[in-house]
Chains A and B, each alone.
Chain A
Amino acid sequence: MTQALQSFTQSQTAIASTFTALRCKECGAEYEPKALHVCEFCFGPLEVAFDYNALSRVVTRETIQAGPNSIWRYRPFLPVMSESPIDVGTGMTPLLKSTRLARRLGLKQLYIKNDAVNMPTLSFKDRVVSVALTRARELGFTTVSCASTGNLANSTAAIAAHAGLDCCVFIPSDLEAGKVLGTLIYSPTVMAVHGNYDQVNRLCCEVANTHGWGFVNINLRPYYSEGSKTLGYEVAEQLGWQLPDHIVAPLASGSLFTKIYKGFQEFIKVGLVADKPVRFSGAQAEGCSPIAQAFHEGRDFISPVKPNTIAKSIAIGNPADGVYALDIARKTKGNVAAVTDAEIIEGIKLLAETEGIFTETAGGTTIAVLKKLAEAGKIDPDETTVAYVTGNGLKTQEAVQGYIGEPLTIEPKLDSFERAWERAQTLDRLEWQQVLV
C-alpha cells in the first residue's frame, strides 16, 4: 500500500511538469504560467502549452482508468500542479446511447453526453471551475470571481465555498430565478448588473484591472478553458477509446467547442485513440447567433450582436473564441446553425419526452439544431453522433412554463380520479391541458 502510494505520488509529480508555459495562439509568444490571459504584444489569447512527448510517456489508458471517477483522472492533461486538486466529483457524467430520440430523428448511432447531471451544480461549468479554482489557489488568490450568464456563477460560488475562497460574481440582472438562487445559496457577493452579458463581461475586465482577484474567465481563462477538454476525453473513453464521427455542441463564447476539439487532438497526439476525422457542428439561438451568421455568410470575422433570446446561458453577442469555433466547424466539414426560441422549447421537450433528460435552454438549442441538421440530411444516419447537453432544465423553468400543461387537479375520491382519467384518455393530452389553461 505504502509502495503504491509512493509510486502514485512520484508519477503525479513527474506528470505535473508536462504543463510548461502559456503560449499566444496568434503570435506564439510564450509566458510564464501565471494569471495572464492575453498576449501583451498582439492581444491574442494565451493557451496552456503541454509537453506531449512527456505526456505520452506517462499516460496510458490504464493509468487513466485507475484514476478517480472525475475529471481528475485526466489530471496530466490539465494545467495544475497540486497534488490534491479540488475534486468535488466533477465529470464522468453519463454518455447515453439514444434509442427513442435517435429513432425520432432517423439516426442510428446517437449519443447524449449528459452534463445536466454534472456535479456539483448541474452544468458543464463545474469542469472549468474545478480547474480554474485549483489553479487560483496555486497562484495565491484568496478571492475568485467571474462574469456569468448563470451556470458559471453557480459553479464558481459553490466550488469556492467548498475550497474556502472568497467569491464575488457578476451576472446580468435579468437572469432566471433558479440561476440567481442557485448562486446566492453559497453566500458569495452577487453583483446583478443592469445590462447584457457582454456588458457584464466588459465591466469584469475593468474590475480585473484594478482588483487583484482571480477571475476564472478573464485572467485565469487559459487554465479555466482547459477544463472543457474533459468533455472530449470522456466521450472518447466512454465510446471505448475511440472518437465519434460527429459532435453537436452549443456555441456561446465558442470556448467549449474549441476545447472539445483540442481534447480529441490531444488524445490522438499521445496515442490514446486512433486518428480519424470528427465533424464539429455548433448550435446557436437565432436571437444571438453571431457565429452562425458568419458561418452562413462565409465571413472569417465575427460581427457582434445584441442578444435577444430565451437561451440566456448562451447569449453572448461578442464571443471571445468565435473565430476559432468558426474555423473548426469549417475545417471539419461541420455546420453552425441557429434555431428560434420556439424551436428551443420544442428541443427541451423533445429530449425530455424521448430520453428522460430535462435540459435547460442551451441543451434545447443543441437538440433543436441536431434535429434541424438531421432533417436537412446534414448528419449521416450511420455517423456516431454525440450531442452535448450542458445544463439542467430545473434552472430555467421560466423558459418552458406555459408550454407543458398543468397537473390534472382532482378531489381525493375514486370517482373524481376516474372521470379525470377518462377525459385524459379520450382527449389528446395536450388538448386536455390547453382546455385547462
Chain B
Amino acid sequence: MAVKVLIPTPLQKFTNDQATLQCEGGTIAELLDSLEQNCPGIKARLCDEQGQLRRFVNFYVNSEDIRFLDGANTPLQAGDEVSIVPAVAGG
C-alpha cells in the first residue's frame, strides 16, 4: 500500500531534507508508524503524549482534510497522496 507523503519544512530534518516520501500504511495511523520506522523521531512531532494527532497539524488525503473523512482511521489506497500541513497558515 505505497502512498506518497508530502513533508512540511519543519519536519524535513527527519527526512534528509526530502519534501516527499513513499511510505506504507492502510490508514493514517499505520502510516504514522511506518513514517516513524523510516524517520525516527518524526511521530513525536506529529502526535502528542497520548498518541493523538497534534492540534496544530492537519492531514489531507488526496486534498481532503481527514477531519471530513475518518480522522486517523481514514483508509489509504495505493497511489494516494497524503499531505501533512501545519495548521496555522493563511488568513
A42 cross-chain contacts in B, Cβ below 8 A: 54, 56
Tally B residues with Cβ within 8 Å of A.
28
Interface residues of A in 200-253 (CB under 8 A from B): 201-202, 204-206, 208-210, 217-219, 221, 225, 252-253
A37 cross-chain contacts in B, Cβ below 8 A: 86, 88-89
Given A199-B63, A303-B67, the answer on whether A147 and B90 have CB atoms closer than 8 Å is yes
Interface residues of B in 1-58 (CB under 8 A from A): 6-13, 19, 45, 54-58
- The tally of CB-CB contacts under 8 A between chains A and B is 93
Tally A residues with Cβ within 8 Å of B.
42
Q: Which of A50-58, A81-89, A315-323, A417-425 interfaces with chain B? A: A315-323
Distance between Cα atoms of A45 and B87 in the complex (Å): 9
Q: Which of A26, A256, A304, A320 contacts B90 (CB 8 A)?
A: A320
Given A44-B88, A209-B6, the answer on whether A202 and B60 have CB atoms closer than 8 Å is yes
Q: Are B56 and A38 in contact (CB under 8 A)?
A: yes
Q: Are B91 and A217 in contact (CB under 8 A)?
A: yes
Q: Are A253 and B56 in contact (CB under 8 A)?
A: no
Additional 16 contacts, C-beta under 8 A, given A43-B54, A303-B67, A321-B88? A37-B89, A39-B10, A42-B54, A43-B87, A44-B56, A45-B56, A147-B89, A198-B65, A206-B83, A210-B19, A217-B89, A217-B91, A256-B91, A304-B67, A318-B58, A320-B88
Q: Are B90 and A197 in contact (CB under 8 A)?
A: yes
B19 cross-chain contacts in A, Cβ below 8 A: 209-210
B7 cross-chain contacts in A, Cβ below 8 A: 209
B63 cross-chain contacts in A, Cβ below 8 A: 195, 199, 202
Distance between Cα atoms of A318 and B89 in the complex (Å): 10
Instruction: Among A44, A147, A202, find the residue whose CB has the most chain B CB atoms closer than 10 A.
Output: A202
Q: Are B88 and A45 in contact (CB under 8 A)?
A: yes
Instruction: Among B10, B57, B83, find the residue whose CB has the most chain A CB atoms closer than 10 A.
Output: B10
Q: Are A43 and B57 in contact (CB under 8 A)?
A: yes
B49 shortest CB reach to chain A, Å: 11
Q: Are A218 and B90 in contact (CB under 8 A)?
A: yes
A208 to B, closest residue via Cβ: B9
Closest 3 pairs between A and B when the two form their complex, measured CB to CB? A253-B91, A43-B56, A201-B90
Distance between Cα atoms of A210 and B83 in the complex (Å): 13
A312 shortest CB reach to chain B, Å: 14
B55 cross-chain contacts in A, Cβ below 8 A: 301
Would you list 13 pairs from A and B whose C-beta atoms are within 8 A, ordered by A residue?
A40-B13, A40-B45, A42-B54, A43-B56, A43-B57, A44-B56, A198-B65, A198-B90, A205-B85, A206-B6, A252-B91, A256-B91, A303-B67
Q: Are A209 and B8 in contact (CB under 8 A)?
A: yes
Q: Which of A205, A253, A254 contacts B86 (CB 8 A)?
A: A205
Distance between Cα atoms of A26 and B6 in the complex (Å): 24
The answer, yes or no, to whether A366 is at the interface (CB within 8 Å) is no
B83 cross-chain contacts in A, Cβ below 8 A: 202, 206
B86 to A, closest residue via Cβ: A38
A225 cross-chain contacts in B, Cβ below 8 A: 91
B68 cross-chain contacts in A, Cβ below 8 A: 304, 306
A433 shortest CB reach to chain B, Å: 38
Q: Which of A44, A201, A210 contacts B89 (CB 8 A)?
A: A201
A67 shortest CB reach to chain B, Å: 28
Contact with B along A118-151 (1 / 0, CB 8 A): 0000000000000000000000000000010000
Distance between Cα atoms of A437 and B88 in the complex (Å): 46
